[in-house]
Structures are given as structure tokens and as C-alpha cells.
Structure 1
Amino acid sequence: MTTPRPTAVGYVSAPTTGGLQQQRELLAGYAAREGFALLHVVADARDGVTLSELVDLAERHDAVHVLVPASNLMAARHQAVTDLLKRTDAVCTVVSGLAAGFGTVPGPRHVRLMIALDVDGTLTAEGRHDVPGETAEAVAQVRAAGHEIVIASGRSLVGLVPIIRALELETGWIVASNGAVTARLDPQAPGGYIVQDARTFDIEPVARLALDLVPEARLGAEEIGVGYRVTARFGRGQVSGAQRVVGLDELFAKPTPRLILAAPGLVTTLVEPVRALGLTANTVGADWIDATPPGLSKASALEEIRQRLDVSPERTVAVGDGGNDRPMFEWAARAVAMGNAPAAVREAADETTGTVEEQGVVDVLQSLLNPQLVAPIPAEATS
């Protein structure tokens, strides 16, 4: 007697006939590999099917699996679909490019990707606290496909909170302060995150050096999760969180993960002396230096997270636009510069996407869900 195969239905949505057909083939191939009987596939060109209609589809066909392509907007809502399906004992499965080794939720070590995303000039325009809707949707789709999104920024934790909320991230990892601070997102924790690692340093030597060489320099010592102790207030939007004006004794009182040095033309005078002290110095234009502890970068923090997550080095992607992104370009197996990045940053990347105004990061994220746009897994990663 033949054992009945598990039954499945599918939902595909794309603006073109070719796109719909590609998604149909993806679901059919997955069903065949898993031994499912794919009874029916609903095709919708406008993403108009509701969650309730999808559940009704499963009930009508007595299906135990609802298959949705990872490139579909419904993929970002797979948990909500699964919750509604509980009354039918069915589950929603997000299907991505299996032929290219990109797996389903959750993916094994050799197929799961870790994608590091810069913020300013990449996810959103410089200094903004929101994220374009299409970009947020692309991030959600990649996460729904089982991949790891890590926000990696020069911003402080306080400055990253609005971005995390705009992306509706409740779990995952963030790298702040150019790698000096690493936090794990936790919706139950105060502020929505738990600091996992904070590298600090004694700022007095570099601060006194800066004031000797550039007496008019403004200094700001980061206070994690709060803001900055400053010698003079910074302009609106230049720093995140509260600013507390203090004297030098109080400025030096506590170690900090980052010291800001700012004055017109200060970089030319100070960047090499700061580095001569053994510190990491990231510059922003000609007037700003972020000094952080020795040997730190976004890349050093990302590598620690990669090892925690047990993602293969060959499955790492980085997208950014600034000089502080170059170390993570060297770290990543696939490095993508934004079209608005300076020439030196673009040259350091493997490829260049559109500008932040064009939401070039969306093209990169969507390519990770499209088996025709991504390279096969290296042979050593599949052994």
C-alpha cells in the first residue's frame, strides 16, 4: 500500500508572467524534493491575497504545508500565517533558491547567510532616523528566508534605536560605534537590546594631545545607551542622545568606547598623531575623527558575531558606503559598495550597486533571494 504524500498549496506573486512562472517552478521543485503533493498554487500579480484567504486555501485542500517564495512580500509574514494555520495543523514554509544552496527557514550552516548592513548612506540618507519602506521590506524578506541581518554602523547604540524600530527588528545583532560596542536585540530588555561587548579606553592621553594641537577642538566621550559627555555642545543631528557639558576632569573620569574630536580641518593635523597612540581613528570628512580602542573595526566585531552564529565565512555579505566600511569589505566574501560611496571605497568592494537615493541596497538584498543572481556555494562549503 502506498503511503499518501504530505499535501501542500502555494502562493506566488510577481508583476510579470515570467516572474510568476519562476516562482511556480521554485515551489514545484521544492515540493518534489521534499516529497510533497503540491495540489494548488494561487498566482497573484499584485500581492493582494490576505492572510485569511491563504489559510482558507490550505483548509479547502486539507494541506499541511503552505509554500511561499522568499522573494514574495508574504514571506515576511510567514510567522503570522503559521499562527493562523494552527487550527488546521498546517505550517507556512518560506522557500528560497534551493538550487543555489540558499535553503529554507532555518538554514544549516553552509547555506545561511550573514549580511552586514551599514546605516548612513546605505540603508537611509545621512543622519535620518527612518528607512524607506521598500528597503525595510527587503530586509524583512531576507530575514524571513532564514538569513542573518546584522546592522553595522558608526552610530552609537542610541542613534541606532530608531533604525532598528523602523526595520521592525526585535531579534538579531547590531554593531555600533565602529565596532567598539556589540549588542544583541531582545524585546524584553530595557531599550530593546543587551550589550554583549563594549571595548573602552582611557581618553585622557589622546584628548590632551588633541587640545594641544588643536585648542579649539570639541570633544565628546560616548556614554553607552545615554549620549555623550562633551566639552561644548555639538550641533543638531551631529550626535545622538543626551549631551552633557562637562569639564576635563569629568570628561576623563570614565573610560569610553569612542571619543569624538571635531574642529574645522582637524583631520589633517590629528589623524596620524591619534593613530600613533595605537588607537583606531575613523575620519568623517575633514573636520571629524572618531577615536576608538586599538585594533577595532566593524569587521572585528562582525567576525565575533559570525563565529557566535556559526555562519560559514564563505556566506558573508557586506554593504556600505564609507571609509569605515572598508575593513568589513575585506572581511566579507561578497562586498558591495553603494553608488554614492567615494571612489576609494567603491574600488575596495567586489561590486557597486545603486545610490542610497536609488535604494541600491534593495537590489543587493533581493539578489540573495534570487538563485539566478547569486554565485553557487564554494565546493568546500558543502562538504
Structure 2
Amino acid sequence: MGYKIVFFDIDGTLINEHKEIPDDTVKAIAELKERGVEPVIATGRAPYFIKPLAEKLGIESFVCLNGAYVVYKGRPLYKREIEKGSLEALVKRAAEHDHGLVFEGEHAFFADKEDHPFIVESVNSLKVDQPGYNPEFWKTDGIYQVFLHCESQDEHLYADLHRELKLIRWHPQAMDVLPAGGSKAQGIAALLKELGLTPADAVAFGDGLNDKEMLEAVGFGVAMGNSHPELLPFADFVTTHVDEQGIRNGLVEAGLL
């Protein structure tokens, strides 16, 4: 199979636990481009979180915010905002339990609490700037994703919101909140349609719980050796650890290097 496009998650896939890109990953992406195969970032991160990494790898296209915002060569081509009514219900519930929220828009992100310890810790783990403070941001701007800051024992408090919202844990103190049914796979489908490609033309690499749909949605899904155990059944191939030439070995298995 001559795959034409490869989607790469960031955290735990393109970068390691120290938020560094292994040198061999940089070389492997460069070789992939030389062979005429297009690399695309597919991440839960917002577009303003990934610019330095994308520039270092020479990647111009992104499926961001867990599929809710897609950019192809600098041009936005797909957007899916969370409905205001759903946001209002989430804001009300989080306030009842003093759970901090971070609202992610197209160009900026803001928290509804100042110096909330869970917000500080989770955002610091991404090695990005802390959000500004604007609890009304969700009312005035399009919101594509929210960070909900609560521990696992409190997840049940949001169970009745699942008809409208999808929650995925990515940190001990934080969850991604997406539109119901949202996933990276939706954004990938929009990009493939734009390019006239089919899922069979695509490969995807991931390591986390938010990568399940993505790995199933492409012709060849690769789970990193450091993946969450629950991701492995969704992969066609399990490569080595991100720091052990995981990207290169997966691309070799796919016949791309």
C-alpha cells in the first residue's frame, strides 16, 4: 500500500515526556517529506501551542483541538465549536464543585479562575504559557475545547452532560471536553475529503486515549511503545518507545521509509 499522508499526535508521540523531539524523529519526518508523503500534526493541543514544534519539523497542516479545528497549509478548512448551551451547563456544574475551566478558542485561551492549582499544574505539564483570566470568554468567542480540572473520583459529577459533551482524561487533574462525538477522526475525515484522499491512504501515530478513533479511522494505525494500554487494541502495529526510534520504526513497518 502506498500511503500518501501520515497523521502524528504530539505528546508521547512526536515529543517525549521532557517535551523534546528526539533527533531521529526530526530526521524521519524529513525523510518522509523527501519521499513525497505529507506529515500532518493531529493533536489535542490548540494551534497556538504547536507553532515552534511544527516549524522545527517543517509541518504546515494540523488537526488541532482533538479534531475540532483543522488547518491545511495555513488555511482553516474545518471548525466545530461547542454549543453555547452545552458550555453554560458545564460552567454551572464546574462552579458548583470549584472545578477550574480553561476555554480554548481559535486564537487564545482563558481560565475562569486565577491561579487555580490544578490549572497551573496541568498547563505547566504542556510546557506552554499559562492562560489569561477571563471567565466570560466562552460567551463572546467560539470555543472548540475546554480543559475541565477535576480528579478521577469526581468524573461522575458530569455524567449527565455526556449527551452534549465528550470528556477524555489526559492528566491526573485535567480532562479535555469536546463536542459530543468529537474526535481527531472527524478532523482527519474533513482533511482527507479536501485532499481527495480516502482513509486507506492514511497512516496515524498516537499514544493516548484520545487517539482511539484516529487509529481506527485510517488505513494503518500505529501505537507508540509508551502508549496507554487501552489504546493498543485499536492499533494495527505497536512500535517502540518515542525515545527508541518509535516514529522511524513505525514508518518502516508502514513501508514509508
* Band of TM-score, shorter chain: 0.7 to 0.9
Query: How far does residue 184 in structure 1 lie from its aligned partner after superposition?
Result: 2.1
CA–CA distance in structure 2, aligned partners of residues 120 and 221 of structure 1: 20
Query: How far does residue 307 in structure 1 lie from its aligned partner after superposition?
Result: 1.4
Q: Which amino acid aligns with 1:200?
A: E
The question of whether the paired residues in 2 share the 8 Å contact of 1:266 and 1:287 is answered with: no
- How many residues matched? 248
Q: Which residue of 1 aligns with 2:244?
A: 358
CA–CA distance in structure 1, aligned partners of residues 167 and 46 of structure 2: 16
- 1:237 aligned counterpart, secondary structure: helix
The question of whether the paired residues in 2 share the 8 Å contact of 1:283 and 1:290 is answered with: yes
Task: Give me the TM-score of the superposition, normalised by structure 1.
Answer: 0.60
Q: Which residue of 2 aligns with 1:163?
A: 53
Deviates more, 1:278-287 or 1:156-165: 278-287
Greater than 6 Å deviation, 4+ residue runs: none
**Structure 2 gaps, min length 5:** none
CA–CA distance in structure 2, aligned partners of residues 229 and 194 of structure 1: 27
Would you say 1:269 and 2:156 are equivalent positions?
A: yes
CA–CA distance in structure 1, aligned partners of residues 18 and 47 of structure 2: 14
1:98-131 deviations in Å (ceiling 9; x for gaps): xxx64xxxxxxxxx52211111001111472x42
Would you say 1:132 and 2:22 are equivalent positions?
A: yes
The question of whether the paired residues in 2 share the 8 Å contact of 1:260 and 1:291 is answered with: yes
Deviates more, 1:339-348 or 1:362-371: 362-371
Query: How far does residue 231 in structure 1 lie from its aligned partner after superposition?
Result: 2.0
Q: Which residue of 1 aligns with 2:92?
A: 208
CA–CA distance in structure 1, aligned partners of residues 219 and 233 of structure 2: 15
1:118-169 deviations in Å (ceiling 9; x for gaps): 11001111472x4222101111111221112111001111111121012023
The question of whether the paired residues in 1 share the 8 Å contact of 2:16 and 2:22 is answered with: no
Q: Which residue of 1 aligns with 2:14?
A: 123
Would you say 1:195 and 2:76 are equivalent positions?
A: yes
Larger RCO, structures 1/2 (Cα 8 Å, 6+ apart): 2
Would you say 1:348 and 2:234 are equivalent positions?
A: yes
The question of whether the paired residues in 1 share the 8 Å contact of 2:13 and 2:242 is answered with: yes
Q: Which amino acid aligns with 2:150?
A: A
**Structure 1 gaps, min length 5:** 1-100, 103-111, 186-192, 372-383
- CA pair 273-359 structure 1, distance change in 2 beyond 3 A: farther
- Percent of aligned positions that are identical: 25
Q: Which residue of 2 aligns with 1:289?
A: 175
Which residue of the other structure, out of 257, 260, 270, is the alignment partner of 2:147? 260
Query: How far does residue 228 in structure 1 lie from its aligned partner after superposition?
Result: 2.5
Task: Give me the TM-score of the superposition, normalised by structure 2.
Answer: 0.86
| Greater radius of gyration (CA) | 1
Q: Which residue of 2 aligns with 1:303?
A: 189
- 2:50 aligned counterpart, secondary structure: helix
The question of whether the paired residues in 1 share the 8 Å contact of 2:166 and 2:179 is answered with: yes
RMSD of aligned alpha carbons:
2.3
CA–CA distance in structure 2, aligned partners of residues 288 and 139 of structure 1: 30
